[in-house]
Structure 1
Amino acid sequence: MDFRLKVFYTVANRLSFTKAAAELFITQPAISKHIQELEEEYKIKLFDRNGNKISLTQAGRLLLSHTNKIFEIYREIDFNMSALINQQRGLLRIGASTTISQYIIPPLLAHFHQNLKDVKVNLRNGNTEQIENALLNKEIEIGIVEGQSKKKTIKYTSFLKDELVLVCNSKNALISKTEITQEDLLKMNFLMREHGSGTLEVIEHALKHLNIKLSQLTIEMELGSTESIKSYLMNSDCVAFISIHAIEKELKNNELAILDVNNLNMVRYFYIISLQGKTDALSELFLKSICSHYNLKL
C-alpha cells in the first residue's frame, strides 16, 4: 500500500503517468496497474482521463490530502530517527540572506532546536553574495539565499516559492490606478536594496522584459534591509519591490498596498545552498528538518 500511495502521490503531483514512471524508475504500465489497484481498493475513480490529460477527481483530491499527511509523518520519523544515530552535539553554522533570516528561517530553527537541543546554531545574516562567499570560504556549512546567480562550486536546491511585488504606502495616490504601466515606473521614486542583494538581482532581471534598465529608474535611496525599506515607505511617497513574505502584517494592517504592474511577473525561488559534494551530518539533519516542516522532498 505504501508504494501504491507513493505512485499515486507522484502521479497526482505531476498529473502525468509518463513523468511519474520516469521519476519512480518503473514502467508506465506498472504505474497504471498501481493506480487501478488503488481505485479497486477504494471502489472509486481517483483520476479523470481526457485523452492524454488527467486530473484529480474529488476522491483523488481527498486521498492526496491524506497522503501528504502520511508522508509528512514519515519525514518526521526519518528526521527523529536520524537525530538518534547521527551526531547530536556540535555547532551548525547557517547563513541566510536578509529577507529569509527575518521572515522565513526563525520557525525552521525553532523546529530544529526542539528536536536537537544540544546542537548550537550560529546564524549569519547578509545579502546573497555575502552568504555565497561565506560558504565558499567554509565559514558556514549551509545557506538559504535568494537571487539568480549560480556558482559552479555551489549546489543550489530550490526550496520555497516567492514573489516580489511593487509596494507603496496605503495612503499613496498611486493605489487608485488599476494598473501600473512602463511609463508610470519611469516616473516613480524607488527604494532599492544594496548591490549584492539577491532581490536587486531579480528586479534587474525582471525589468529587462519591460525593456527597462535599472539605471533608468529614479532611485531615491539604497537601504540594507527590507525592514528599513518598509519603514521608509510608510513615511514617504516612494515605491519598492518587496517579497510577499515580508509584508503580510503590513497588508493586514492596511499600512502598505500592492500595485499591479502590467506584464511584470517577479516569481522566484529561495535556494538552499551547500558546497558540491557530500554534506556533513548536522547539515543533513537540518535539511530533513526543513523537509518535515514544509512538507518538501529535497
Structure 2
Amino acid sequence: MDFRLKVFYTVAIRLNFTKAAAELYISQPAVSKHIQELEETYKTKLFERNGSKIALTAAGHLLLQHTKSIFDIYREIEFDMSSFVTKRQGLLRLGASTTLSQYVISPILAQFHKKEKGISIHLTNGNTEQIENALINKEIEVGVVEGQSKNQSIKYVPFLKDELVLVCRANHPLAQTNEIAIATLKTLRLVTRERGSGTLEVIEYALKQRNVKLSDLQIEMQLGSTESIKSYLLHSDCFAFISIHAVSKELKNKELTVFDVEDLIIERFFYSITLVGKSDTLSELFIRNISDYYNLSL
C-alpha cells in the first residue's frame, strides 16, 4: 500500500503517467496498474481521464492530502529515530526564492551538509509566491524567501538583512551622478522582476511610501531572474533595483554602478518560512543553522 500511495502521489503531482513512471523507475503499465488497484480498493475514481490529459477527482484530492500527511509522518519518524544513532538521516524538502537560491543559500547548504552528511536536501526554486504556495501545499517543509507580504498561515523568521540598490552599467552616460531625486526616477527606463516576485513587492511597497506607484515608472521590461536583469543592464541604458548581495561581483569588477535615490532606502529581511503550528525536528535544525550562519539575534 505504501508504494501504491507513492505512485499515486507522483502521478497526482505530475498529472502525467509517463513522467511518474520515469521518476519512479517503473513502467507506465505498472503505474496504471497501481492506480487501478487503489481505485478498486477505495471503490472510487481518483483521476478523470480526457484523452492524454488527467485531473484529480474530488476523491483524488482528498487522498492526496492524506498521502502528504502520511509521508510527512514517515519523514519525521525517520529523522527522529536516527537521532538515537551517531549519524542523523532524513530528507528535507527546501524551497528558495530566486534571489536567495542564486546568491545566499549555497554557503548555508554547504555548511549544513558538512555537519549533517546523512540528511538529503531537495531544493525547489521559484519566486516568493511560488515558494509560499509550495509550502502551503506541503510540497516543501521549509522555505527561504524575500518579500513584504505576510500570509497568516505561514511563520516568518528573519535571518539576514538586505538592501535593494539602484544600479546601471558602469559606463552609462549618467554613471558619474552620485544621487538622483525621486522625481528623476520616474524618467529612467527600468527593468524589474515579474509579478509574484518578493523583490518587486518590496520595491512597490517602498515607493508607495514616497507616493510613487509602479505605473508612474517607465518599466521597459519584466524579467524572471536577477541574472537576466543584470545581463540586460550591461547591454542597455536601463536601471534596476537589485539586492546588494546579487551585484557584489559586478560592483567589484566595475561592470555596474550604484545610484543613491534621495530619501529612498529600500531595506528588507530574508526569511525562513514554515507553516504555523507545523513543526518538526529536521526543519527546526535547518532553521537554527541558518540563524547561526548569519549570527542574527532574533
SS at match of 2:236: coil
Secondary structure at the residue paired with 2:143?
strand
Once the 2 structures are TM-superposed, how far is the Cα of residue 269 of structure 1 from its aligned partner? 0.5
CA shift for structure 1 position 151: 0.8
- Which residue of 2 is the match for residue 107 of structure 1? 107
TM superposition shift of 1:182: 2.1
Equivalent residues of 1:87, 1:282 under 8 A apart: no
The answer as to 2:122 corresponding to 1:118 is no
Q: Using a 3 Å threshold, how does the CA distance of structure 1 residues 171 and 106 change in structure 2: closer, same or farther?
A: same
Offset, 1:295: 2.1
Describe the shift of the 1:85–1:147 C-alpha distance in structure 2 as closer, same or farther (beyond 3 A): farther
Q: CA deviation at 1:118?
A: 1.7
Change in CA separation of 1:103 and 1:84 when aligned onto 2, cut-off 3 Å = farther
- Name the counterpart of 1:140: 140
Q: In the TM superposition, what whole-angstrom CA distance separates every residue of 1:209-239 from its partner, at most 9, and x where no partner exists?
A: 2221101111111100000000110111000
Three-state SS of the structure 1 residue aligned to 2:212 is: coil
Aligned partner of residue 108 in structure 1, secondary structure? helix
Q: Which has the higher helix share?
A: 1
Q: Could you tell me how far apart the structure 1 residues matched to 2:127 and 2:289 are?
A: 24
Matches within 5 A, 1:26-41: none
Partner of 1:33: none
1:232 and 1:87 map into 2 onto residues whose CA distance is: 46
Deviations 1:136-188 (Å, cap 9, x if unpaired)? 00000001110111111100111110000000000011222231112211111
User: 2:194 is matched by which residue type in structure 1?
Assistant: E
Is 2:127 the partner of 1:127? yes
Judge conservation of contact 2:159–2:291 (CA < 8 Å) in 1: no
3-state SS of paired residue (1:132): helix
Per the TM alignment, residue 292 of structure 1 is displaced from its structure 2 partner at its CA by: 2.7
**TM-score, normalised with respect to structure 2:** 0.70
Distance 1:188 1:219 in 2: 8
| In 1: Cα distance, 2:169 partner to 2:84 partner | 50
Contact map agreement 2:159 2:290 (CA 8 A) in 1: no
Render the CA deviation track for 1:73-117: whole Å, top value 9, x for unaligned: xxxxxxxxx967698222100111110000100000001101111
Task: Say yes or no: does 1:154 pair with 2:154.
Answer: yes
Q: Is the 8 A contact 2:96 2:144 kept in 1?
A: yes
Contact 2:159 2:294 in 1 (8 A): no
**What is the correspondence of 1:165-176 to structure 2 with a 5 Å cutoff?**
165-176=165-176
Structure-2 separation of matches of 1:176 and 1:169:
11
User: 2:186 aligns to what SS in structure 1?
Assistant: helix
TM-score, reference length from structure 1:
0.70
What letter corresponds to residue 98 of structure 1 in structure 2?
A: T
Q: For 1:98 and 1:250, how far apart are their aligned partners in 2? A: 18
Q: Secondary structure at the match of 2:174?
A: helix
Q: Is the 8 A contact 2:159 2:272 kept in 1?
A: yes
Hey, what does 2:228 align to over in structure 1? 228
Query: Superposition RMSD on alpha carbons, in Å?
Result: 1.7
Q: Which amino acid aligns with 1:115?
A: K
Q: Which residue of 2 aligns with 1:194?
A: 194
* Greater relative contact order (Cα < 8 A, sep 6+): 1
Identity %: 61
Instruction: Assess, with a 3 A threshold, how the Cα gap between structure 1 residues 164 and 216 changes in structure 2: closer, same or farther.
Output: same
Residue of structure 2 equivalent to 1:179: 179
What is aligned with 1:254?
Answer: 254
| Residues 1:183 and 1:86: Cα distance change in structure 2 (over 3 Å) | farther
Q: In the alignment, is the contact (CA less than 8 A) between 1:165 and 1:266 conserved in 2?
A: yes
- Counterpart of 1:208 in structure 2 is 208
Deviation at 1:207, TM superposition (A): 0.8
| Secondary structure, counterpart of 2:245 in structure 1 | helix
Counterpart position of 1:283:
283
CA contact (8 A) 1:83 1:116 kept: no
- The residue identity in structure 2 corresponding to 1:263 is D
- For structure 2, the 5+ residue unaligned runs are 1-81
